[in-house]
Structure 1
Amino acid sequence: MPLFKTIKPNKHTTIYVWKIEESFDALSKGMLLTDRSKNRIQSMKSELHQRGFLSVRHLLKEAGYCDNDLFYNGNGKPHLTDGKHISITHSFTFSAIAISTNEVGIDIEKNREKIKIIQHKFVNFERGFIHENDDYIQQLTVIWGAKESLYKIYPYGGLTFKNDIDIDSFQISDKKTTGYIKVENWDKTYDIHFHQVENFTLVYALDPATND
């Protein structure tokens, strides 16, 4: 299908969401890819991952870019040739990108029971505010997505979700909270926004200085 959703959280930032319903061949048709991207697709064993990769290129096109405008640094962080910030995510049948003139991170995750099993790997401070009367899986998925979004913003890699990133108290109905990266020389606060997209949780982190 075409573009599923566009979100404009502020005048500096646009988020594009794609629902991946097309076949690999349909997504490939007319799509110009760099040799690096062609090699990456060939190395992927899962067609679902291949379709996710291609759907991101369609999102780039929706935003006015092409595959050649995207490159990665040594830590695997994506960049655009015009200097704007970009963050990329895909999970099962959804993909999304966030493009901004300032720091931005994005994540989309399917709401799954499995997250209860791995929560000890990323929940620390947040244990004190998880609400029993709220959707437990969604709460955990927001926390994971928020930490993943902040991890993507941090340019140097190596953060631990449990010890280096904190998320403030929230309820699912709030649709927003605050997150913190707390490491040496990078003690910053970010606005966190989250939405339910069918059975997925979309989370993005924004520099509060640009949230207008």
Structure 2
Amino acid sequence: MPLYKSISVNTQTTVKIWKIEESYDDLMAPLDLKPNSLERVLGMKSELHQRGFLSVRHLLHEFGYTDQDLFYDNNGKPHLKDGKHISITHSFTFSGVIVSDVEVGIDIEMQREKIAVIAKKFVDYEFNYLKPEEEDYVRKLTVIWGIKESLYKLFATPGMLFREHFLVIPFTFEDGETISWIDYKDRKYRYKANFLEFDGFTCAYVLEE
């Protein structure tokens, strides 16, 4: 089973990443899915999405959980029955899960040039330090998107906008971490953000400090 990477962020927080190499049948065979999970996966039009969904259940197993331990609230945010915090992501051939004692969010994105076309839709403050002519512009945009997507998953509040409500402080790839902020309804929330790159993908995750 291709557990690709396991990261011990701190004593309360762990990230696990799966490289999706198995077939749909091989991923499905050992799993015991709840009826609504089975209905959901069978209703997916794309086998890539099905395999992503199933690989997340294998990651749950790596944490010692099963599909029965996972449920979603009305905003689509996942929760664990034991009260620990969880966030889930999958993108093409990778999936990721973060589990922690504090609120967390995670995102994996493929690094693609087209992100530069939509940059103005999710970047505002960050244009102060981004330079489109730089060689790593797409990589930096992907980090920013991943951090903001992670913040969105963590906060799970309808009406929040990446461009207006989320800030990512300047960062370097060498550090692999930065600070991010949610500025929403006259309140500011500060989160630690980490990121890493592999196989043309970027993984970002955020957690309460």
TM-score tier (shorter): over 0.9
Measure, in 1, the Cα distance between the counterparts of 2:48 and 2:187: 36
Match of 1:67 in 2: 67
Match of 2:172 in 1: 171
Q: Quick one: percent identity of the two aligned structures?
A: 52
Match of 1:148 in 2: 149
Structure 1: which amino acid aligns with 2:188? D
Structure 2: state its 5+ residue gaps: none
**TM-score, reference length from structure 2:** 0.96
Output aligned runs, 1:22-171, within 5 Å.
22-131=22-131, 132-133=133-134, 135-171=136-172
Structure 1: which amino acid aligns with 2:154? I
- What are the superposed Cα offsets for residues 167-192 of structure 1, whole Å, 9 maximum, x if unpaired? 10112222111100111265210011
Deviates more, 1:165-174 or 1:57-66: 165-174
* Secondary structure in 2 matching 1:18: strand
- What are the superposed Cα offsets for residues 96-125 of structure 1, whole Å, 9 maximum, x if unpaired? 000000011100000001101111110100
Are 1:18 and 1:94, in contact at CA under 8 Å, matched by a contact in 2? Answer: yes
- Structure 1 runs (4+) deviating above 3 angstroms are 131-134
Per-residue deviation, 1:34? 0.4
Measure, in 2, the Cα distance between the counterparts of 1:67 and 1:185: 38
Measure, in 2, the Cα distance between the counterparts of 1:135 and 1:185: 34
Matched, 1:14 2:33: no
Structure 1: which amino acid aligns with 2:203? L
Change (3 A) 1:120 1:133: closer
- How many residue pairs are counted as aligned between the two chains? 208
Are 2:2 and 2:20, in contact at CA under 8 Å, matched by a contact in 1? Answer: no
Structure 1: which amino acid aligns with 2:31? M
Match of 2:207 in 1: 206
Structure 2: which amino acid aligns with 1:56? V
Deviates more, 1:181-190 or 1:148-157: 181-190
Structure 2: which amino acid aligns with 1:97? V
Measure, in 2, the Cα distance between the counterparts of 1:5 and 1:190: 23
Measure, in 2, the Cα distance between the counterparts of 1:102 and 1:186: 19
Are 2:59 and 2:97, in contact at CA under 8 Å, matched by a contact in 1? Answer: yes
Measure, in 2, the Cα distance between the counterparts of 1:155 and 1:42: 26
Structure 1: which amino acid aligns with 2:80? L
Q: CA RMSD for the aligned pairs?
A: 1.1
Measure, in 1, the Cα distance between the counterparts of 2:24 and 2:204: 26
Measure, in 1, the Cα distance between the counterparts of 2:143 and 2:116: 13
Measure, in 2, the Cα distance between the counterparts of 1:36 and 1:197: 33
Measure, in 1, the Cα distance between the counterparts of 2:178 and 2:76: 27
Are 1:5 and 1:16, in contact at CA under 8 Å, matched by a contact in 2? Answer: yes
Measure, in 2, the Cα distance between the counterparts of 1:206 and 1:138: 21
Change (3 A) 1:186 1:57: farther
Measure, in 1, the Cα distance between the counterparts of 2:186 and 2:106: 23
Structure 2: which amino acid aligns with 1:44? M
Per-residue deviation, 1:70? 0.3
Measure, in 1, the Cα distance between the counterparts of 2:175 and 2:199: 18
Deviates more, 1:167-176 or 1:8-17: 167-176
